[in-house]
A and B are shown apart, each in its own frame.
Chain A
Amino acid sequence: MSEIEEEAVRQNYSEQEKTSIFDTEFMIHVDSMYNFAYRLTFDEDDAKDLVQDTYLKAFRFINSFERGTNAKAWLFRILKNSFINEFRKKSKQPAKVDYNEVESYYNSDDAGENITTDLRVETVQHMIGDEITGALNALPVDFRTVIILSDLEGFTYEEMSKILDIPIGTVRSRLHRARNMLREKLISYAKEMGYNN
Chain B
Amino acid sequence: MNFSSFLLMRQEIILLTIILLLLVAEISISKSKKQSIVHLAIFLFGIHTIVGFLPIESGKLFGGMFHSNELVHFFKNVLNVGVFILLLQSADWLQEKVVDENKGTEFFILLFSSLLGMYFMISAGDFLMFYLGLELSTLPVAALAAFEVTKRISSEAGIKFILSAGLASGVSLFGISMLYATSGSIYFDDIITMISATNLTILGFVLFFAGLAFKISLVPFHFWTADVYEGAPISVASYLSVISKGAAVFILMILFFTVFKTLMHVWENIVYVIALATMFIGNLFAIRQQNMKRFLAFSSIAQAGFILLGLITGTQLGTATIIYFVMIYIFSNLAAFGVVQAISLKTGKENMNDYEGLYRTNPNLSLVMMLALFSLAGIPPVAGFFGKFFLFTAAASEGYYLLVFLAVVNVTISLYYYLLVVRAMFLRTSDQAIPYFKNKLYMRLGLLITVIGILVIGLYSPLYDYIFELSKNLN
A and B co-occur in one complex: no
